[in-house]
């Protein structure tokens, strides 16, 4: 919900709760999470410090937020397909730090921000063969161990004897039929 004060009329927002009570999910509630019950005008006017530049303040605040969101970095080698799949902070970092990889023509090396080793492992594994973690060494080792475990799991090839719940071989299961959807939109 967004409340805009018209002209020079300041407004006071009153949350439904004071924000200190225990919330159903555990820890204390946060006022930003609570619904607004009413808005009323007050005679108070907020004075901004002299020289305050909202646009600069917003850029600094946003940069600080992203730095806390992605406190670590990884050096990654990416194919063109892998690079095209990056979004958000990682896509911006690719633009800022990406350089042609000296060992693999057509690939790019870039320093990408990461949230944590857990999160980065999942992100880079999702890129499959289109990415390679070069550092930090602990993340590279972790991704390699996961890939080795996956390779071992699939090493025996197709599991021919697998059956569905009704006992039919998995290859003979009928494909689901598409449900008729709405006709073409006009």
Quick: pLDDT tens for 54-83.
Answer: 899 999 998 888 778 878 899 999 999 999
What pLDDT, on the 0 to 100 scale, is given for residue 143?
A: 97
Q: Please state the domain extents for the chain.
A: 68-154
The 3-class secondary structure across 121-183, one letter per residue, is HHHHHHCHHHEEEEECHHHHHHHHHHHHHHHHHHCCCCCCCCECCCCCEHHHCCCCCCCCCCC
What pLDDT, on the 0 to 100 scale, is given for residue 166?
A: 66
pTM exceeds 0.75: no
| Low pLDDT (below 70) residues in the chain | 1-34, 158-175, 178-186
Joined together, the tokens standing for residue 168 give 């039919």
DSSP strand pairing (11-15 vs 36-41): antiparallel
């Amino acid at each position: 919900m967004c409340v805009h004060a018209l002209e020079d009329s300041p407004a006071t927002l009153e949350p439904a709760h004071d924000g200190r009570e225990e919330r159903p999910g555990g820890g204390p509630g946060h006022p930003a999470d609570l619904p607004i019950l009413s808005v009323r005008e007050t005679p108070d006017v907020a004075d901004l410090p002299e020289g305050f530049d909202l646009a600069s303040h917003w850029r600094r605040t946003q940069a600080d937020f992203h730095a806390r969101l992605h406190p670590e970095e990884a050096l990654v080698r990416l194919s063109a397909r892998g690079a095209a799949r990056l979004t958000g902070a990682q896509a911006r970092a690719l633009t800022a730090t990406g350089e042609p990889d000296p060992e693999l023509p057509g690939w790019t090396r870039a320093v990408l921000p990461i949230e944590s080793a857990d999160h980065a492992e999942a992100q880079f594994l999702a890129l499959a063969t289109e990415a390679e973690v070069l550092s930090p060494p602990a993340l590279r080792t972790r991704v390699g161990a996961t890939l080795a475990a996956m390779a071992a799991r699939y090493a025996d090839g197709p599991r021919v004897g697998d059956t569905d719940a009704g006992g039919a071989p998995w290859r003979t299961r009928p494909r689901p039929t598409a449900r008729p959807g709405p006709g073409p939109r006009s």
